[in-house]
Amino acid sequence: MSKNAIDIKGLKKVYRGRGGAEDKVALTGIDLEIPRGSMFGLLGPNGAGKSTTINILAGLVNKTEGSASIWGFDIDQNPRNARANIGIVPQELMFDAFFTPREMLEVQAGMYGVPKAERRTEELLKAVHLLDKADAYSRSLSGGMKRRLLVAKALVHNPPVLVLDEPTAGVDIELRQQLWDYVRELHARGTTVVLTTHYLEEAEELCDTIAIINHGEVVCCEPTEQLLKRIDEKEIVITLAETLDGVPNALRSFKAHVRDAHRVAVQISQADANVGEVLAAVQAAGLTITDIATDETDLEDIFLQLTSSQGEAA
Ligand code: ADP
Ligand code: MG
């Protein structure tokens, strides 16, 4: 038995272009191991191939090449067992608008062959804060409620692996917190959780391991802490009262460049400098700081950093 919840090997997907459109390579042949018990983040910008990966596991998209197994069951050789071990919350809110949440969970449980006595409809509705909407038409639910209903639906057969594809899309902040609390609780009780996101902060906050995917390739896959150490570079922008005609001498030893007549940007990484040292140098030079801002690290920066550091290592 594999110790991984999910094993992906050489997975490739080419969407065939129809009516003269060009073929689209969505996955180039990726390897990915998702350990049992982990809270795993699949992080990447829009179009990276996250949903394609998830939808192949869900049996919604046919792969072009490679293999995948879930809880040790190959999706081709053992599709029933593979499916029984995973619950997937798709990115798209696909709904039968005329079912109520209660009916939807019952139908889903029926499809997975869960005996009536073992169904957890009430418990699940309560867990996702939808008990008061149990008998409302699903089409009357808000986007956030629909998302939570899909989480409940993914759990009717009590799978050991839960996958959430961009779960925060359309979910407001308060309900997002409730959703995360519930996901964390499931994880604490032993469920392996996989989520895709294009927000670094989200993956950083929730996941113990992060794989970054870009243009259908896995760029890296490592413990969150280790990854964050590698991408700790930030830019601070210092506004000075004085007019600049170049990088002030005091900042020559840092990675600094002039933004405009009053602003200078400094790249800092914990490995070689900290904000305090930069500010001390500016003040020691007798310059007057009128404002300081930091830029959030965005995914594009991270890819650049990761790919350039790989280049150096090679
Ligand atoms: P992500 O979920 O990371 O945003 P997707 O897996 O949805 O990325 O898409 C990966 C790439 O495959 C994108 O370039 C997207 O346009 C393309 N793609 C996705 N689904 C289809 C499809 N059904 N037909 C053709 N191209 C598709
Ligand atoms: Mg997607």
**Residue 169 class from Cβ within 10 Å (0-12 exposed, 13-18 middle, 19+ buried)?**
middle
Two structure tokens written together for 39: 């809270």
pLDDT in tens, 105-120: 999 999 999 999 999 9
Q: What per-residue confidence (pLDDT) applies to 299?
A: 66
Q: In what order do the strands lie in the sheet with 24-35?
A: 24-35, 4-15, 65-70, 73-74
The stretch 188-204 carries a mean pLDDT of 93
Say if residues 57 and 163 touch (Cβ distance below 8 Å).
yes
pTM summary value: 0.80
pLDDT in tens, 75-85: 999 999 999 99
Spatial separation of the C-alpha atoms in residues 204 and 229, rounded to whole Å: 12
C-alpha 198 to ligand 2 mean position (Å) = 9
Q: What per-residue confidence (pLDDT) applies to 144?
A: 83
pLDDT in tens, 261-299: 999 999 887 666 678 889 999 999 999 999 998 766 666
C-alpha 49 to ligand 2 mean position (Å) = 7
pLDDT-derived band at 303, boundaries 50, 70, 90: confident
Q: Which among 11, 22, 24 is the best mutation to test ligand 1's pocket, defined by most ligand atoms within 8 Å of the CB?
A: 24
Given a cut of 70, is residue 226 above it in pLDDT?
Answer: yes
pLDDT-derived band at 8, boundaries 50, 70, 90: very high
Say if residues 239 and 289 touch (Cβ distance below 8 Å).
yes
Angle between helices 173-188 and 143-154 (to 10 degrees): 10
Q: What per-residue confidence (pLDDT) applies to 259?
A: 92
Q: Which among 30, 43, 51 is the best mutation to test ligand 1's pocket, defined by most ligand atoms within 8 Å of the CB?
A: 51
